[in-house]
Structure 1
Amino acid sequence: MSAGKRFPFIPRFGRLASGITFSLSLLAGSLAAPQAAHAEGQIRIAEQFGIVYLLLNVVRDQQLIEKHGKAEGLDIKVDWQQLSGGSAVNDALLSGAIDIAGAGIGPLLTVWDRTQGRQNVKGVASLGNFPYYLLSNNPKVKTIADFTAKDRIAVPAVSVSVQSRFLQYAAAKQWGDKEFNRLDKYTVALPHPDATASLKAGGTELTGHFSNPPFQNQALENPDVHVVLDTYELLGPNSPTVLYATEKFRTDNPKTYKAFVAALAEAADFAQNDKGAAADTYLRVTGAKISRDELLKIIDNEQFQFTVTPTNTYPLADFLHRVGAIKNKPASWQDYFFEDPAIGQGS
Structure 2
Amino acid sequence: MKLTRRHALKLVGASGLALSLPTLARAQEVEKKNITIAVGGKALIYYLPLSIAEINGYFEDEGLKVKVADFAGGSKALQAVVGGSADVVSGAFEHTINLQSKGQFYRAFVQQGRAPAIVLAVSNKTMPDYKSPADLKGKKIGVTAPGSSTNMMVNFYLEQNGLKPSDVSFIGVGAGAGAVTAMRTGQIDAMANLDPVIGTLLKENEVRVIADTRTVADTKAIFGGNMPSACLYASEDFITQNPKTAQALANAIVRADKWIQANDAETIAKTVPASYLLGDVELYKQCLDANKESLSPDGLVDEDGPSTALKALAAFVPNLDPAKIDISKIYTNEFADNANKKYPNV
TM-score of Structure 1 vs Structure 2, range by shorter chain: 0.7 to 0.9
Aligned to 2:171: 188
Aligned to 2:61: 67
Instruction: Select 1:143's aligned residue among 132, 147, 155.
Output: 132
1:247 maps to 2:213: no
The 1:111/1:275 distance shift into structure 2, 3 A limit, reads: farther
Q: Distance in 1 between matches of 2:204 and 2:158?
A: 27
Instruction: Show the 5 A alignment for 1:250-329.
Output: 250-276=239-265, 277-284=267-274, 286-301=275-290, 303-307=293-297, 308-311=299-302, 312-321=305-314, 324-329=318-323
Instruction: Select 1:210's aligned residue among 184, 192, 200.
Output: 192
The 1:298/1:333 distance shift into structure 2, 3 A limit, reads: farther
Contact 1:171–1:182 (CA under 8 A) maintained in structure 2: no
Contact 1:51–1:282 (CA under 8 A) maintained in structure 2: no
Q: Post-superposition shift, 1:264?
A: 0.6
Amino acid aligned to 2:54: R
Contact 2:118–2:153 (CA under 8 A) maintained in structure 1: no
Q: Distance in 2 between matches of 1:291 and 1:338?
A: 38
1:121 maps to 2:106: yes
Q: Distance in 2 between matches of 1:192 and 1:141?
A: 24
Instruction: Select 2:118's aligned residue among 132, 142, 145.
Output: 132
Q: Post-superposition shift, 1:43?
A: 0.8
More displaced 10-residue stretch of structure 1: 231-240 or 326-335: 326-335
Q: Distance in 2 between matches of 1:252 and 1:97?
A: 17
More displaced 10-residue stretch of structure 1: 187-196 or 106-115: 106-115
Amino acid aligned to 1:85: G
Q: Distance in 2 between matches of 1:115 and 1:282?
A: 38
Q: Post-superposition shift, 1:343?
A: 5.0
1:48 maps to 2:40: yes
Q: Distance in 2 between matches of 1:237 and 1:319?
A: 11
The 1:111/1:253 distance shift into structure 2, 3 A limit, reads: same
The 1:224/1:296 distance shift into structure 2, 3 A limit, reads: closer
Q: Post-superposition shift, 1:39?
A: 5.8
The two structures have a TM-score, normalised by structure 2, of 0.75
Please list every run of 5 or more consecutive structure 2 residues that lacks an aligned counterpart in the other structure: 1-29, 339-346
Q: Post-superposition shift, 1:67?
A: 0.4
Aligned to 2:332: 338
Q: Distance in 1 between matches of 2:77 and 2:46?
A: 16
SS in 2 for 1:192: coil
Aligned to 1:89: 77
Amino acid aligned to 1:103: G
Contact 1:40–1:252 (CA under 8 A) maintained in structure 2: no
Contact 2:39–2:74 (CA under 8 A) maintained in structure 1: no
Amino acid aligned to 2:180: T
CA deviation vs aligned residue, 1:98-134 (integer Å, no higher than 9, x gap): 0111222343321232234xxx211122212343211
Q: Distance in 1 between matches of 2:118 and 2:161?
A: 18
Q: Which one has the largest radius of gyration?
A: 2
CA deviation vs aligned residue, 1:132-180 (integer Å, no higher than 9, x gap): 211111213333221132x21111222x2111111121122111xxx54
SS in 2 for 1:115: coil
Amino acid aligned to 2:203: E
The 1:187/1:343 distance shift into structure 2, 3 A limit, reads: farther
Aligned to 1:14: none
Q: Post-superposition shift, 1:61?
A: 0.6
The 1:332/1:110 distance shift into structure 2, 3 A limit, reads: closer
1:173 maps to 2:160: yes
Aligned to 1:4: none
The two structures have a TM-score, normalised by structure 1, of 0.75
The 1:325/1:273 distance shift into structure 2, 3 A limit, reads: farther
Contact 1:90–1:111 (CA under 8 A) maintained in structure 2: no
Aligned residues with identical type, % of pairs: 19
The 1:339/1:212 distance shift into structure 2, 3 A limit, reads: same
Aligned residues: 289
Amino acid aligned to 2:181: A
Q: Distance in 2 between matches of 1:300 and 1:195?
A: 22
SS in 1 for 2:232: strand
Q: Post-superposition shift, 1:251?
A: 1.8
Contact 2:141–2:170 (CA under 8 A) maintained in structure 1: yes
